[in-house]
Each structure stands twice: as structure tokens, then as C-alpha cells.
Structure 1
Amino acid sequence: MKAWRLENFGLDNLKQVEVEKPKIEANQILIKVNSVSLNYRDTAIVDGVYTPDLLEFPFIPVSDASGEVVEVGSDVSKFKKGDRVTSHMFTKWLEGKPKSDEQLHALGATVDGGLSEYMVLNEDATVFTPDILSDIQASTLPVAAFVVWFSLVEYGSIKAGDRVLVQGTGGVSIFAIQIASALGAEVIATSSSDEKLEKAKALGASKVINYKTHPDWENEVQKLTNGNGVEHIVEVVGGSSIAKSIEALAYQGNIYVIGFLENMVAEVNLFSLLAKQAKIHGVNVGHHRAFEDFTRALDQLNIEPVIDTIYSFDQAKEAYKHQAKGAFGKIVVDFNK
């Protein structure tokens, strides 16, 4: 089969190769991959930023894949040949608290991922693709959409009427606007582009802040909420943004640290943290049970994934370059294009 393999750090070391089609074990399924989507994690892996000490070259990257089951193992009872399925990144995290070794079983890093014509998944590392979505759309769900659901629902117990601050307009942030507004929350979105903020409004944001015009955006958040702050912040920037997020927060509000686009290190005012009684959650996607809950809920949420650009399988490197530059929504690789 054709596959893209990362042979060392750096995008020049992502090579298209011919490899043996993988064989399945009793509890596994073989999937013909039709589409994958890229995340910040994928470019960070190539750049040697994300869990570099755990990686063993070569491996097939990308965690988020959708396709069709073409073979099932003898012990598999959930899936049958012809089923449409989507991957779950942490192949061993089924429910409850993560164990210390979850990173050792992560697709597209320590376990071969989806950037190949066929991939093998454990039965428990897979969900049914929602009927309402194409494979191209479904491939955007496993990280960018699900991490938002896991944050707001599993950690934050979000309720209608809550206020949610969303930073930027990348893949995670766009899903955060859509999911939070679908759950009845009031969404405030930030961006450096007025044009993108108008698009954010169309997707469900009720209020917007241009952080170039208002560099002290935390003060604007307080103004827009009459001094109450927001109950939830989807924090994808990291670095100095964390301190600002604490100031924008409502008392006993939640900050979900999902990304580190600016910096992996943050300096915070501990008095502000204590005064706000802030809850800061480090969120690394979520477990399989919650992913199944999310994909079932999509029937009621009426969310259509926002896709910036679709590339062909042979254009995988171009897709990575685009992802590294940033996008409005998701970057997808369509294997049938």
C-alpha cells in the first residue's frame, strides 16, 4: 500500500513509500482510509516539539482518520465489513482517568496513524462514523472537535446560558464556537482579523473582540459581560495568554488549556488565580466512551465541520505546510481526490 512515513524530524523527512498492507489481530479491524485531517499536534510531531523522546522512526503519522472496514478480526463483535468508522487517538484510554502510559498508545506517534491507504485499529479505538457526516467531515472530529466536547461537557458540565471565550479561528476554536453555541452558551470569540470575526459570528459567536485593536482583551471580556467574566475559556494560545485568561474568568470558572501556540511556559499571578478560585484543566483529548457520546450527540447538535482546504493524498506535504501557517477551520487530506 501507499503510505507517508516520517523518517526523522523535519518535513523533508516525511516520505511517500510503498509498504506491506498491515495484518490484523483477533481484536482488530482493517480500515480502508478515505480521509484524514491535520491538527497542530501533527506539525508539532514533525518539528520535534511533541513527545520527541517517545518517538521511534519510521512511523506513519496523523491520528484523525475516517474510512471503511474491509476486514474484521475473529474476536470483533462491534463492527462488520462495510461499516464506516472514525479513529480515536488514545487507543487504550477507554474511560475514567488516564493511566500514565496513554502517550505510549497514541495514533500517529507511538502507534502508526492514518496517513496510509489502510490502517489497523483495535475495536475499542474506533467509533461509528455519524451517518449525517461524510468521511471528509468525520475525519475532522477525533481531536479538534472532541477535545472541545470533552472540555466543556466532561470537565466543565456546561449549561445553557453559560459564557464561553474562544481564542482564534483555527480548527479547535471553530469547533468550540459551534459546539458551545449549540449547547446554548453565549460565545465570545477573539481574532486579529475583523473578516474572520464576521465569519465567527455566522458560526454562532454572539460577541467578538479583535485582540490587535484591544491588546488587553481580558478587560474587553469583562466589559462585554458587565464585569461578570466568562465561565469557560478554551485556551489554545498558552504562554502569556494564561494570565489574561484568568483575568477574563468568572469566579470559579474553567480554563481548558488545549494548546500552546505561543509558548509552552506560562507565568501567572497566583493572587488572581486564588481570588478567582479558577479551575485550570490541562486537556489532552479524551477517552473513548466520551467520544462515542459526542458522535451520537452530533445528530442533535446540527454542526457542520468547517473545512478550510482539501488536499489529495499526494499533496500531504502541502497540507502540512498549510496547517503550520494556520487555517480557518480544518485542513483535510482526501485519499479519493
Structure 2
Amino acid sequence: MTATVKYSRWTLPPTTGHQALALDREATLGSVGDDEVVVELHAASLNYRELVVAKGAAPGDVKANVVPGSDGAGIVKEVGKNVQEFKAGDRVATHLTPTIPNDQFPTLIDIGAGLGQSIDGTLQEVGIFPQSALVHAPKDLSFDRAATLTCSGLTAWNALFGLKGNEVKAGDWVLVQGTGGVSIAALQFASAIGANVVATTSTDEKAKRLESLGAKHVINYRDTPKWSAEARKLTPLNRGFDLIVDVGGDSTLNESLAAVRANGVVAATGILGSDSQPVPMLKTIWYVCTVRGIVLGTRDQFKKMVKFVEEKNLQPVVDDVVFTLEQTKDAYERLAAQKHFSKVIIKIR
């Protein structure tokens, strides 16, 4: 590929809100560096982080006119002379935090230095990425589904298997909250290894979908706002859950603490509903549990997740409505309105 190649990409001007996104149909591809890889992108998926970055509310600086989006999948077209792990024709997925070692757990600072904020991301037809921003995609998995693994998939994997000595195993009891990308991925992973999964959601329609994906029980949190007691009754001897994947932050953490078993783990993975009073962490003494803050996971974990997806023949769940690259603003709107189920997908080609 040469610098004369023209392609389309979205950029984020130095303003606030995703309505400011600008579509550049005449972008020119630069030359590939020694440690870089040219990827023809086929699909991308959105996270709430994209909305936060667009609002200018993300930790860290945002590169002027950055190409947004951290999650994507495609085909390698060209590699720099120092690249050993990839070759032209390889199917790859993006890894958000390429600036840290493969075994290092990322922080919000590392995420701010990553794709879609400090480094050009995935909402473009072609991208040049550091080789450390890529992993091999699962064999035989569609690009749409592979594009869900970068953030939601990896966060869920880290929540279930990232704490040494407390990895979820067959027979364990796991609770997931809602129908966002992290919760659905955690449900799929946990079900695949034989764990007992309980889910919470807001409608009967969503409950049926969760059951079809492997949830043994579903609790409607609108009908039962204090769902912890009902959830505990589902576990043996009312002992509580081995792991709870908490996505709501302060608005759900009290219930999560009340539902987890003694010496169990609450994986705090999000703050989607955090408009409540902060929950004091000294409450962990009362409930005798671990609350583990998680953002994404390591590149090494990503590779293990890919192997697991291949072995279990998992098909990550995507939203019913799929957008084209030109419809990116509509995709942002669907995400912001929380009308989606699991992951919002942008099909690039």
C-alpha cells in the first residue's frame, strides 16, 4: 500500500460531543514504520468510552483530530521490517493499550494513551497501528464478532480469570448485571466453563435472551430493586456468589456486596449507573470480600481469551442493528440511548 491510497475515516475535532465527528473521505495513508502494521479494517464496535472521549471527559489528553474507536478487526496488508508476529493476510483484532508490556495490567492512564484517544483508532477503512496494538483474531470468527473482544471481551475475561487463585471454574456461582457488552461476554465465558450464571435485567424480553445465552436464573431489577436477597436464595445454602461482575458502580455496589459470598470477589468493571452516594470501601470488612477494580486486561490475557474462544467455538453476541461506517453517528446515538443489546457494531466493509 502506498501513500497515494485514499480512504475514509472519522476524526474528532477539538470540541465536545459525538455530533462533532467529521467524516474525511480523502484521507491519505502514510508510510508504515519499522514496528508498525497496516490493517484493512472490516468491522469496529463501540464502547461507552467513545462517548466519554467525544465529550472531552476522558482521563488524559485527546489528540487533535484523532480517529476515534478502540475496537476493531481486519486483515493485515503490510508490515514494517521489525514486525515478526504478523504477516500480510493475517486476521487481527486491535488491543487498546499498546504502550505497556504484554503482561502489565493497564490503568486509566494507559487507556488514555491508547487507541481512539492518543493513537488513531478503528473508525476508518485502513489504519496503521503499532504491532503491540494487535493480536491474532480467533479463527473462523466473523470480523463483526472479533471486533467485540478488544474491550468488553477482555474486561470480562479479566474479571473471571484474572485474579490468581480465584479464577472462576465449573460449578461456581457468578452474577452478571444487565445486557451490556461486558456482562454478556462474562455470561458467555462463565457458561462455557460450566459455571452457574445468574443475571439481572430490566425487562422480560431481555430476560429471555439472557436465558437463551446460558443464564440459569434472571432477576428483574426494576421489579426487585433490592435484588441481593433474592439472588442469594438461588445459591447453595444461601451462601452467595463466588464472583459478581458489577457494571453499575455506586448504584449497584451495595447490592453486589450483599450478594457475594464470604471471601468472594466483586469485580468492579464500570460506573454506568453511578449517580448514587459513594459506597464506602470499609463495607468490605462487613461483608468479608474482595472488591477488585478492573479496566481491560493484558495483551497476554487477550491471547489466552482468543484461544478459549476458538476452543469453545464461542460466538460473541452483537446488537441486532448493524451500522455502516458512514452511519457512525447513528451508531453513537444508539449507544448513548442504551437501545442496544451487547455490542454496537459498525461494519466497515
Q: Which residue of 2 aligns with 1:3?
A: 9
Match of 1:249 among 237, 251, 260: 260
Distance in 2 between the 1:99 and 1:269 partners? 22
Pairwise CA distance, 1:192: 0.9
Contact 1:182–1:302 (8 Å) recurs in 2? no
Q: Which residue of 1 aligns with 2:191?
A: 181
TM-score, length-normalised on structure 2? 0.92
- Per-residue CA deviations over 1:31-58 (Å, capped at 9, x if unaligned) read 011110111111222223322x421321
Distance in 1 between the 2:56 and 2:142 partners? 32
Judged with a 3 Å threshold, the aligned counterparts in structure 2 of structure 1 residues 264 and 42 are, in CA distance, closer, same or farther, namely farther
TM-score, length-normalised on structure 1? 0.95
| Correspondence list, 1:23-38, <5 A | 23-38=31-46
Letter of the aligned partner of 2:149 in structure 1?
A: L
SS of match in other structure, 2:232: helix
Distance in 2 between the 1:121 and 1:50 partners? 22
Q: Which residue of 2 aligns with 1:281?
A: 292
Distance in 1 between the 2:82 and 2:278 partners? 50
SS of match in other structure, 1:121: strand
- Per-residue CA deviations over 1:201-227 (Å, capped at 9, x if unaligned) read 110100110011111101111222242
- Please say which of residues 143-152 and 119-128 is displaced more in the overlay: 119-128
- Per-residue CA deviations over 1:51-92 (Å, capped at 9, x if unaligned) read 2x4213211100001111111101111111111111001112
Distance in 2 between the 1:214 and 1:102 partners? 38
Match of 1:303 among 314, 318, 336: 314
Pairwise CA distance, 1:265: 6.8
Distance in 2 between the 1:97 and 1:142 partners? 14
Q: Which residue of 2 aligns with 1:212?
A: 222
Contact 2:73–2:93 (8 Å) recurs in 1? yes
Distance in 1 between the 2:125 and 2:241 partners? 44
Are 1:228 and 2:236 matched, yes or no? no
Give the number of equivalent residue pairs: 335
Deviating 4+ runs (over 3 angstroms): 96-101, 269-272
CA RMSD of aligned residues (A): 1.7
Contact 1:63–1:89 (8 Å) recurs in 2? yes
Are 1:41 and 2:49 matched, yes or no? yes
Identity %: 33
SS of match in other structure, 1:19: strand
SS of match in other structure, 1:187: strand
Letter of the aligned partner of 1:44 in structure 2?
A: V
Q: Which residue of 2 aligns with 1:68?
A: 75
Judged with a 3 Å threshold, the aligned counterparts in structure 2 of structure 1 residues 271 and 223 are, in CA distance, closer, same or farther, namely farther
Pairwise CA distance, 1:183: 1.7
Structure 1: state its 5+ residue gaps.
none
Are 1:124 and 2:137 matched, yes or no? no
Distance in 2 between the 1:99 and 1:150 partners? 13
Distance in 1 between the 2:217 and 2:326 partners? 40
- Per-residue CA deviations over 1:196-254 (Å, capped at 9, x if unaligned) read 11110110100110011111101111222242110111111112211111111111111
Match of 1:22 among 30, 42, 46: 30
Pairwise CA distance, 1:19: 2.3
Q: Which residue of 1 aligns with 2:4?
A: none
Structure 2: state its 5+ residue gaps.
1-6
